[in-house]
């Protein structure tokens, strides 16, 4: 009787284990298929920014709502707080850029197509978004932004009070085969009384 009970419990445990496995697989497939295009685009940009060192994930276990997270090359999940400031900046730029591109494509293209006007590529404005990035991360993000600018025919306007940022943009553009314009407020008669930190 004990052997029969044990066999029955084992069979039940195996059945529950198989059901749990199938349920997890179905949930994973559903998440992959139901993932919004904004997240798909953000994931592609983030992987490009980090040169494949990180992938974007959504932390479904966040206490209030799903939150952006990342996984490193070893598959270790990291929340935004656990990422370095440079990698966190890359993730946030990728997500904001992706959401802006998708929103513009979804909302603007329909209206402009209905009127017969060509698609409108609004400029992206970044305000010292890469200040905490090391030169290698800066170059990776800048190259990807230059790709987006060239492919979509739009401007990227980067605001900074640091001369180092202008130099890094020049280097990234040269490596990319692009050209950029650097405008210092004090040098064009605009804000000539501005402090050096604001020029």
Residues ≥6 apart with Cβ < 8 Å to 74: none
What pLDDT score does 51 carry?
A: 85
User: What are the phi and psi torsion angles at 131 (to 5°)?
Assistant: -60, -35
What pLDDT score does 120 carry?
A: 59
What pLDDT score does 101 carry?
A: 82
What pLDDT score does 195 carry?
A: 36
- The separation between CA 129 and the C-alpha centre of its own chain, rounded to angstroms, equals 13
pTM metric for this prediction: 0.63
Candidates 37, 46, 52; CA nearest to 103 is: 37
Dist CA 69 CA 180 (whole Å): 32
Instruction: Return the structure tokens found at 181.
Output: 């314009």
Per residue of the chain (199 residues), give pLDDT as tens. Answer: 889 888 988 988 888 888 888 887 776 665 555 568 888 888 988 888 888 899 988 876 665 656 788 989 888 988 888 988 888 888 888 888 888 888 877 765 555 556 665 555 678 888 988 888 888 889 988 988 898 888 777 888 999 998 999 999 999 999 989 889 998 887 554 444 433 333 2
């Amino acid at each position: 009787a004990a052997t029969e009970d044990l066999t029955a419990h084992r069979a039940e445990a195996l059945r529950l284990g198989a059901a749990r496995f199938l349920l997890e697989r179905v949930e994973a497939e559903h998440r992959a298929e139901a993932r919004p295009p904004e997240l798909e685009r953000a994931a592609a940009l983030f992987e490009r920014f980090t040169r494949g060192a990180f992938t974007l994930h959504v932390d479904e276990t966040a206490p209030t709502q799903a939150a952006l997270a990342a996984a490193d090359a070893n598959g270790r999940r990291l929340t935004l707080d656990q990422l370095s400031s440079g990698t966190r900046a890359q993730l946030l730029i990728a997500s904001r850029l992706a959401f802006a591109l998708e929103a513009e494509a979804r909302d603007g293209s329909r209206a402009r197509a209905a009127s017969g006007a060509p698609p409108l590529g609004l400029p992206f404005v970044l305000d010292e978004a890469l200040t905490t990035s090391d030169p290698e991360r800066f170059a990776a993000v800048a190259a990807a932004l230059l790709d987006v600018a060239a492919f979509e025919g739009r401007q990227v306007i980067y605001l900074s009070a640091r001369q180092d940022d202008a130099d890094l943009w020049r280097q990234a553009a040269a490596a990319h085969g692009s050209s950029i314009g650097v405008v210092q407020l004090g040098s064009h008669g605009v804000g000539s009384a501005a402090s050096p930190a604001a020029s």
